Amino acid sequence: MNYIVFDLEWNQSPGGRYRENPKIPFEILEIGALKLNARRRIIGEFHETIKPLVYRTMNRHTQAVVHMDMEALRQSRTFSPVARSFLEWCGEDYIFVSWGPSDLFELQRNLDYYHIQYRFPKPLLYYDLQKLYSLENLDGKKRPALQEAVEAMGIAQTRRFHAAFDDAWYTAKIMQNMNFKSVQEYKSVDYYHLPESKEEEIYLDFKTYSKYVSMSYPDKETALKDKTVTAIGCNRCNLPVIPRIKWFAGSGGNMYYALVQCPRHGYVKGKIRIRKAQGDEIYIVKTIKPATEADVEDLQSRKAAVKERRHKKLEKEKERKKLKREKTAAATHTPVIGRRGIGRRKKNAQTGEEQAPQA
Ligand SMILES: [Zn+2]
């Protein structure tokens, strides 16, 4: 199998968000790629610039970064023929490699915009070299710029940055120079085409963790009601686990955490990320991995913090309501009536039923 190490340059609406075409917020202007064989030797090159059809002038932020001018681009072929040549050049048996996840996403969005047929596997797995580099050299979470990695690896900077072919070339050099085999297992899943049904949902098992990607849901409440979304077991065996901390929301509301205990492998933690799909829908990425003692403590304190925050919020709300009541009372010169008194006697206008006192 070959590796297609590629990089794209794109333009965005020169008139800002307000003038952008939501079907193609980033218009690809250049494709640069190198083909590497299974031994990571370069066996082919692809490079072509593209004549833009959507945004005819450069966004000033784009202009500041890329080395392209519109005059020259107008001499190029349009996206459709270039993309077809590129896909043909890729061949049959290959896996994409890119620095970060966005190039593969935007490539597909541009292909769809121009109704170009392509048959990528489903799920589409690829190598995010930025992530692999981080796993090997950093904490696995940081996402360094390409130039940073090039510098750290002592690769001679004989080319420019932010030019598609040169960036692809640097990415290939990093891939050749790093201990690729040690992280080769950690393929990424492309999120452009999400699973369309429960049957298509994605389950990946790695040495150190497992990953689940759901279909899309109208909202997170619906998603969290789905038992497959919240299921959590040991990532190394099928023994029944003991629940330790039930799923609870992190501070932003887009992350959920849980802890269970496997009788054989010890603590196992789960993390649910709520991610935005196309339109208003959302989908779930869940990871399950062994938890260390420090992880357990961290989860416990995080849960306590959430509880504390909720408690404070409630207290504040109570205080605010009390003040409001006192203010209204003062304004109308009526004596302050206890909450209980109001709640008990208030009748529902529609049903005539007595309402339960509020909290
Ligand atoms: Zn286990």
Domain ranges of the chain: 2-189, 198-291, 306-345
DSSP tag of 95: E
Q: Which of 30-34, 63-67, 185-189 has the lowest mean pLDDT?
A: 63-67
Tokens for 206, please give them. 């790695």
- Mean pLDDT for 43-62 is 91
Tokens for 151, please give them. 């510098």
CATH architecture of the region 2-189: 2-Layer Sandwich (3.30)
Which of the four pLDDT bands, split at 50, 70 and 90, describes residue 337? Answer: low
Tokens for 160, please give them. 């420019």
How many A from CA of 294 to the centre of ligand 1? 19
Note the pLDDT of residue 336.
55
User: CA-CA distance, 95 to 109, in Å (whole number)?
Assistant: 18
What percent of the chain lies above the pLDDT cut of 70? Answer: 92
User: CA-CA distance, 303 to 300, in Å (whole number)?
Assistant: 5
Q: Which of 171-185, 214-228, 325-339 has the lowest mean pLDDT?
A: 325-339
Tokens for 217, please give them. 């849901």
User: CA-CA distance, 326 to 332, in Å (whole number)?
Assistant: 10
By residue count, the chain amounts to 359
For the cut 50, the answer to whether the pLDDT of residue 349 exceeds it is no
How many A from CA of 329 to the centre of ligand 1? 61
Cα Rg, the chain, nearest whole Å: 27
Tokens for 203, please give them. 């389950």
Q: Which of 118-127, 206-215, 284-293, 336-345 has the lowest mean pLDDT?
A: 336-345
Q: Which of 287, 239, 231 is nearest to 265 (CA)?
A: 239
The overall pTM is greater than 0.75: yes
How many A from CA of 274 to the centre of ligand 1? 26
Residues ≥6 apart with Cβ < 8 Å to 45 = 33, 34, 35, 165
347 forms bridges with which residues in the sheet?
A: 354
How many A from CA of 210 to the centre of ligand 1? 13
- Mean pLDDT for 92-101 is 96
Displacement of CA 24 from its chain's centroid (Å)? 19
Cβ neighbours, 10 Å, residue 94: 14
How many A from CA of 203 to the centre of ligand 1? 17
Which of the four pLDDT bands, split at 50, 70 and 90, describes residue 348? Answer: very low
How many A from CA of 62 to the centre of ligand 1? 49
How many A from CA of 338 to the centre of ligand 1? 55
